Amino acid sequence: MSVNTIPHIHALLKPETIRVGMPGGTKREVIDAVVDLIAEHPSVRDVEAVRAAVLEREKVMSTGVGKGLGLPHAKTPAVRSTVAALAITDTPVDFGAIDNEPVRLIFLLVGTEAARSQHIKILSRISRLLNRDPFRQRLLKATSAEEVQKAFADVESELVGG
């Protein structure tokens, strides 16, 4: 995939990188758990370096973007290409969000430095999709990874073209 191409979110997510009903806990525990979801992804060279990059980015400013969404992300040479994971927690987590509301949706995005523009565009698309109340509610009601992936496919088909 070209670094100038914006992939569909549902194509970035795989059933093994989606966790529905993940235990809540602290922000750090949740970030660790969502990073663990990508540990076996073929594009991940070093999961501990990914974890360190995500946590370092989080120190700069919380990625709790509001409306119950945490969007931890980083750019690092520890991945070969863009990798994503999504966790839906069973209980809300204090993420230090800008609206001071706890989060249940944690979307992890990790990309390469070379794909900086793509990374920003993907973050923007995720934010735009998850800003839609009906879509967020659909995700929160999901009971399986496949249901989450289908929800993304449906909303992306509707909003950004199949």
64 falls within a domain: yes
Query: What pLDDT, on the 0 to 100 scale, is given for residue 105?
Result: 97
| pLDDT one-digit tens code per residue, 68-82 | 999 999 999 999 999
The SS3 assignment for 44 reads strand
129 falls within a domain: yes
Query: What pLDDT, on the 0 to 100 scale, is given for residue 160?
Result: 63
Name which of 24, 83, 26 is nearest 49 in CA terms.
Answer: 83
21 falls within a domain: yes
pTM confidence score: 0.93
96 falls within a domain: yes
Let me know if 73 is a catalytic residue. Answer: yes
Say if residue 152's pLDDT is above 80. yes
117 confidence band (pLDDT: 50, 70, 90): confident
Given the residues 10, 41, 73, 119, select the one marked as catalytic: 73
Q: What is the DSSP letter of 79?
A: B
162 falls within a domain: no
148 falls within a domain: yes
CATH number of the domain to which 79 belongs: 3.40.930.10
N-terminal to C-terminal alpha carbon distance within the chain: 17
Range of the domain at 70: 11-157
